[in-house]
Structure 1
Amino acid sequence: MSEFVVSGRFQDRTGYRAFDKAVDAPNENVAREHTLAKLGSEHGLKRTQIEIEEVTAS
């Protein structure tokens, strides 16, 4: 598995917050899905409230 860095922003009560998450995944699409699931569960967000701007392999 490769490590990907997923960056973007999500909507919270005061506006938007930027994030960078390092994720171990077999490909870029799986890294996106893991990030959406993790942020959604940690912050009580829906997928429409999360904007992924970039996924890079590290």
Structure 2
Amino acid sequence: MFYHLLPNNEYILPAGLFQDQAFHLASEIFIDEKPDYYELKNKTHKMTGQEVFDLFRNK
């Protein structure tokens, strides 16, 4: 399964599709809906659901 973001013509793919690859996680979205105990090790750009919707609404 993937997401196709029409405004930017971007495709978003789950990282689990790529085994044995070194990926750098750069951002997290919908952080306001994640469990409190869930935290990624590296620092990322974090966006709430509303921030994501606002970003794509303005394009």
- Please tell me the TM-score bracket, short chain as reference: under 0.3
Larger radius of gyration: 2
More strand by share: 1
TM value normalised by structure 1:
0.17
TM value normalised by structure 2:
0.17
